[in-house]
Structure 1
């Protein structure tokens, strides 16, 4: 207690303490109300977006019914619309991007946290994080004018000749080599989501207690064994979160995909063939939609993407809950 408080009468000290307690209680109540309001606001915005999409998509859904999801024809002249081709392109490109980016991103994170010389960790880490700040349209321009011609003249002809005559793979990698297409857009998406997965994975790797890794090294484990049996099991929840963040970015990416996917409303067995995605279709055609049914069909595509993203995130939360439950057990 200070000299001033000691000089105060006991009643005044009690009143001062009561005022302090009331002030703290008021501050705590205000903080609780603000945070609760922010959480409710997020739910209201999410619900408002969902309701707006349903209302806007209702004319198309009522006109085409379930056939809208299983038809790939897209003809604004005859007003015959189907969402199968954009759905197929969205899922295929995002899946390929994640299959490519996840092992590379985890490998980079392992190198930065376990193997990289200390003077190089910061420059390489900053370089990886800078990739996340590049606008998507820059990726699209680079993909169209640099990456796609390179694939067209070198990679795609080699792969087509390599798998020619192989059952299954010959149709999956069939020509001609356009340069643009599903595979090119998937590679661009993999490059775009790579820094997100790498950064989050490295950050969660850095949270592993040093005593766990030192104990593993002390009993003779190699770096591979420490990474596989200590680091990854300890951080698997965080790794899964980074993967889901990258997948969400891949599903909703618009401009970069629009540049390099070819924007063709058809489904082809070949990954080298042009295609389209939901976001690319909306970006290309929304300004040209001049009828209620045309506009409603584009809004219905947005609703489908909203539902796909919600389902994937729900599955991710379920997987994380299962992982945490097993870890607790």
Structure 2
């Protein structure tokens, strides 16, 4: 079994949302559940040894349903973010869930690659705290170091909506990722602060202009934790070949997103999506960037994924599909975990 360290999941969001309805998030994760994609028993079964656990602040109102026209096109209307005080409250509640899970032995909050390897060796889920869309962060960045002290080691300035730090790409098919402006002045200051603190910057949801803004101002490797190849699935969330080339040049990573809308040639949300669609995206990114710049970024608990995987317990189905496609064990180790660990060692400035 190839152990997997994954570039993106939304398990903290699921646990937080269920806690609002009275569920016990600790029992749900540690003992297991039939809800969502990740808990400790299913992670162990599928070799999911850890990953970036996102603190995503849901909007007050639901996003409208994806309406596909007769040509197979769609564009989901953006819903604005919550205000900073409310977003901060929710993010701290998610951080508290992660801390309680650590105390209960369900996971380890990792601040170094040594922490990640130690957690994987002990069989505990190796969690890296990530903020997806920086609505909880004050405009003057006065609480960024507080989050860093709590274990934050990765963030995406925006989700697929605009905030005071920048502009996000909508969910649109077919569409270029060049959908509007990039970073704001506050966003530029955020990127500089992340470079100073060694916080990884995730470009998965930012506009193409925002991608190039970060490329220009940051000195760190370029990373898109859960994005695929636009050349194969032309949804706005995927990366153009030019973006993939820039990631390669900076020795960064693009992590394969399991979301079917980002895998299928037709961009549809349909769990009846073959594993071959996942393999062809991996193949394209490896051909474009090299094996060292490609990893996995499942989006578990945040997207509709292929039924052949189902949840964290089914992760090895993808590994086997890649093995059958000709990837050897050394390359599979890179795709599954070693590329992420190599990159984090660089971003976190470890000796």
Q: TM-score, normalized by length of structure 1?
A: 0.26
Greater share of strand: 2
Larger Rg, first or second structure (1 or 2): 1
Greater share of helix: 1
Higher relative contact order (CA 8 A, sep 6+): 1
Q: TM-score, normalized by length of structure 2?
A: 0.25
